[in-house]
Amino acid sequence: MKNKKVTTDFFILCAFIAVITLGHYFSPVDNVFLHNVFRKLYFIPIIFAAFKLGPVGVAAAALISSFFYMLRIWPPPPQLGSSWMLDNTLEIILYIIVGLTVNILVQFENRGKVALEKAHQDLLKKEQMKSKFISIASHEFRTPLTVLNGYISLFELGMFKGKDEEFKLKCGKAKEIINRYLQTIDNVLDMVKTEQKDKLEKRDQTNLNDLIKEVYSDLEIFAQKRKQFLVLELDQKLPLAKMNKREMNQVLTNLVMNAIKFTQDEGKITIRTKTFPDKIQAEIADTGIGIPENEFENIFESFYEVKSDDQHSSGTFEFKSGSLGLGLTLVKRIIENYQGKVWVESVVGKGSTFYFTVPLEKTEGKK
């Protein structure tokens, strides 16, 4: 489509030059007034080329116009003298200067338009994110609050007198809801912190395998409730890397909890580590529902979920349960702040593998 437009513009350019040239050739050679009119008209196709065809088009228009113009003025009429020829030669040079100058101005204008359009799109994106946040947050907060309010009402009515086991069960549920709220708030605060480069947390030489074992111990109970197999395949010679333990715990927790939530009961989740010359790599692989390839980039956006907002369901570890949609965004920002990379490979219906890397410093490498 673009090539067709360029071809059309080129033909229009040629038509401009042809009409001006024909008019110039059929005008009397000694008619100075008409000669001056036609030589100024050659600026029209040159400026047209600057707007439509870019630097190459301008050069072509200037050369073609100069060629036909030169044929018309050469040889110069004897009665007009050498100054007339010099004046017309300078006119030809002016064709090229004007064309290139206009083209530069057009390029600046186009860059301004692109920047303005990008700013507009960014603003629209932020508005969409705001609307999505309100939609998901209202569900994420309202539903558990309704449940929590119900438990409190039952406590006030004394419904659990003499029912210690049921009372403990409901207290446990209430505590789980509160913990989910605290985790959501922590995610929001951490998202803000990752944007403030001057407030990055202290990093120390850390063994990623040790952090993985801690996360495994914390989350194993959720996998067990779903009858899932949580497996470790760790590189025992993994070198130390400079990390902040709390940040890396968040990365691992978010990725493993995602795997638990989007893997069917009795599925398998494997956590691996590998060593490369300049980095260490972690992989969280599952046999879950998978992610469509066209969603690979989108899932790392704030408040994004593959399913639509009206299908959003809150939960901690339940199958396909959602959250505020900040987990993977937080993972990406933390890893990128380490100058590492995070990405996903997935096949719908077969499972997903999330990868992330942490660079090694030259002094790193000893356990």
The CATH number of whichever domain residue 244 belongs to comes to: 3.30.565.10
Residues 99 and 226 in one domain: no
Q: In tens digits, what is the pLDDT along the chain, a chain of 367 residues?
A: 556 777 787 788 778 788 888 887 777 766 777 777 877 787 888 778 777 777 777 777 777 777 777 776 666 666 555 666 677 677 777 777 777 777 777 777 778 888 888 888 877 776 666 666 655 555 556 656 666 666 666 666 666 666 667 666 767 667 666 766 666 666 666 666 666 555 566 889 999 999 999 999 988 988 998 899 999 999 999 999 999 998 899 899 989 988 998 999 999 999 999 999 999 999 999 999 999 998 888 888 866 665 544 443 445 556 555 555 678 888 998 999 899 999 999 999 999 999 999 999 875 444 4
Residues 207 and 89 in one domain: no
Q: Flag whether 178 is in a domain.
A: no
**Residue 214: per-residue pLDDT:** 93
Residues 114 and 217 in one domain: no
Residues 353 and 241 in one domain: yes
Q: Flag whether 326 is in a domain.
A: yes
Residues 224 and 339 in one domain: yes
Residues 204 and 310 in one domain: yes
Residues 205 and 339 in one domain: yes
Residues 82 and 211 in one domain: no
Residues 110 and 213 in one domain: no
Q: Flag whether 149 is in a domain.
A: no
**Residue 273: per-residue pLDDT:** 97
Q: Flag whether 342 is in a domain.
A: yes
Among candidate residues 118, 143, 171, the one where a domain is terminated = 118
- Total domains in the chain come to 2
**Residue 284: per-residue pLDDT:** 96
Among candidate residues 84, 118, 152, the one where a domain is terminated = 118
Residues 218 and 352 in one domain: yes
Q: Flag whether 171 is in a domain.
A: no
Q: Flag whether 195 is in a domain.
A: no
| Domain span holding position 110 | 2-118
Measure the CA–CA gap between 189 and 178, rounded to whole angstroms: 17
Alpha helices in the chain (DSSP H): 2-26, 32-41, 43-52, 54-73, 81-156, 164-195, 208-225, 245-261, 327-337
Among candidate residues 74, 99, 118, the one where a domain is terminated = 118
Q: Is 134 helix (H, G, I), strand (E, B) or coil?
A: helix
Selection from 55, 60, 61, 66 nearest residue 93 by Cα: 66
Residues 213 and 322 in one domain: yes
Residues 209 and 309 in one domain: yes
Q: Flag whether 152 is in a domain.
A: no
**Residue 124: per-residue pLDDT:** 75
**Residue 314: per-residue pLDDT:** 47
**Residue 167: per-residue pLDDT:** 66
Measure the CA–CA gap between 29 and 34, rounded to whole angstroms: 9
Decide if 90 contacts 37 (C-beta within 8 A): no
Q: Flag whether 22 is in a domain.
A: yes
